[in-house]
């Protein structure tokens, strides 16, 4: 197998490949761009006009999606997968991956859309580099642009696999994209309604890609992801890579849609989240429940019908989101 097919091994070892560009027997060009970054380009005659960005390891301990991308890269290098799309594979936070930690000093997935400019350190530099790599990849005109940023969660979830769909003023969410996500195994999609500082929000907002954060189960160490069923997602990605996708209809039967009611922002060290430490994502909260308290005049009381909590984390830094209150929604407004 080509050395560049071992991108994960190179990344975990902190090594650069001796050859930065290699060709498969199928004429597919694999090019190492930076640490954890591999561009795959099909022969020109086979290119179907799709640019597919697949990222994982933005949090270094979320290993199931890292292993999935590794499998896809190996299959391409061996000639088993025959791309018709251009692909950029990104392992987001190599140093955290090597340590088996979520991050080293800063959460990389809170440093996009210009946020890294307000900070310093290696992870702010990495976020800047990831933006640069994505912008360069998505710079070709008249292409279909799609970005899946793959994650696993730090806690259990009543809905195990779900997606977050970013927001941009003047742009509507796509029904076709939701159909594809459902086919890929997503049980729910959160339709966001404000700008964000995560990686998928950057590519959606600034680079006009269709972009999603995919949550694929609970985070576990390398080699311990047998319980995470990524078969539907893997099949969908293989079809996108090979240009063999067949989407049928536009019905969303069985796909749960949610919208953001409120974000819970931690303002100070006095912040208290009144939830059990092991509460699962998508847990339903009763109306009237005092969800969180901060300084004397700051408290969050559940007022919404059918409200649920996702990503509760009282340990985030001050000024960051400590949870999201979501409510069920319909598909009205999709295009």
**What are the beta bridge partners of residue 114?**
none
Classify residue 12: in a domain, yes or no: yes
**CA-atom Rg of the chain in angstroms:** 20
Name the pLDDT band for 221 (thresholds 50, 70, 90).
low
Query: Which DSSP letter does residue 287 get?
Result: T
Q: What is the CATH number of the domain that holds 48?
A: 3.40.630.10
Enclosing domain of residue 291: 261-328
Q: Is 147 annotated as a binding residue?
A: no
Is residue 23 assigned to a domain?
Answer: yes
* Residue 324 sits in the same domain as residue 213: no
- Is 44 known as a binding-site position? no
Q: 213 and 102: one domain?
A: yes
The reply, when asked if residue 62 is annotated as ligand binding, is yes
Q: Provide the whole-model pTM.
A: 0.94
Determine the pLDDT at residue 297: 73
- Would you call 210 a catalytic residue per the annotation? no
Mean pLDDT of 7-20: 96
Tens digit of each residue's pLDDT (9 = 90 or more) over 37-92: 999 999 999 999 999 999 999 999 999 999 999 999 999 999 999 999 999 999 99
Q: Which of 129, 215, 238, 242 is catalytic?
A: 215
Number of domains in the chain: 2
Asked if residue 197 is part of any domain, the answer here is yes
Q: Is residue 54 part of a domain?
A: yes
Q: Is residue 295 part of a domain?
A: yes
91 and 144 both lie in a single domain: yes
Quote the CA–CA distance of 157 and 99 in Å, as a whole number: 25
pLDDT tens, position by position, 289-328: 999 999 867 899 999 999 999 999 999 889 888 999 999 9
Query: Are both 238 and 267 inside the same structural domain?
Result: no
25 or 331, greater pLDDT = 25
Domain identity same for 162 and 295: no
């Amino acid at each position: 197998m080509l050395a560049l097919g071992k991108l994960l091994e190179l990344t975990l070892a902190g090594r650069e490949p001796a050859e930065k560009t290699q060709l498969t027997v199928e004429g597919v060009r694999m090019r190492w761009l930076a640490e954890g970054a591999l561009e795959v380009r099909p022969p020109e005659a086979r290119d179907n006009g799709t640019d597919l960005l697949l990222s994982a390891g933005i949090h270094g301990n979320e290993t199931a999606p890292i292993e999935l991308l590794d499998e896809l890269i190996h299959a391409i290098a061996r000639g088993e997968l025959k791309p018709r799309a251009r692909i950029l594979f990104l392992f987001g936070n190599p140093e955290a991956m090597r340590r088996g930690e979520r991050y080293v000093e800063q959460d990389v997935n809170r440093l996009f859309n210009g946020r890294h400019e307000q900070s310093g350190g290696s992870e702010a530099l990495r976020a800047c580099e990831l933006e640069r790599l994505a912008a360069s990849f998505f710079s070709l005109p008249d292409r279909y642009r799609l970005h899946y940023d793959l994650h696993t969660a730090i806690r259990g979830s009543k809905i195990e696999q779900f997606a977050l769909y970013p927001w941009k003023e003047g742009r509507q969410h796509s029904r076709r994209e939701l159909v594809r996500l459902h086919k890929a195994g997503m049980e729910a999609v959160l339709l966001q309604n404000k700008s964000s500082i995560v990686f998928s929000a950057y590519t959606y907002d600034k680079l006009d890609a269709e972009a999603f954060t995919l949550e694929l189960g609970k985070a576990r160490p390398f080699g311990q992801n047998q319980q995470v069923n990524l078969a539907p997602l893997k099949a969908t990605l293989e079809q996108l890579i090979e240009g063999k996708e067949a989407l049928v209809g536009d019905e969303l039967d069985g796909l749960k849609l949610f919208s953001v009611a409120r974000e819970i922002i931690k303002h100070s060290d006095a912040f208290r989240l009144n939830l059990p430490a092991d509460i699962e994502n998508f847990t339903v909260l009763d109306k009237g429940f005092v969800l969180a308290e901060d300084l004397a005049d700051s408290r969050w009381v559940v007022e919404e019908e059918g409200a649920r909590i996702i990503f509760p984390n009282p340990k985030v830094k001050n000024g960051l989101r400590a949870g999201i209150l979501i409510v069920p929604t319909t598909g009205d407004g999709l295009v």
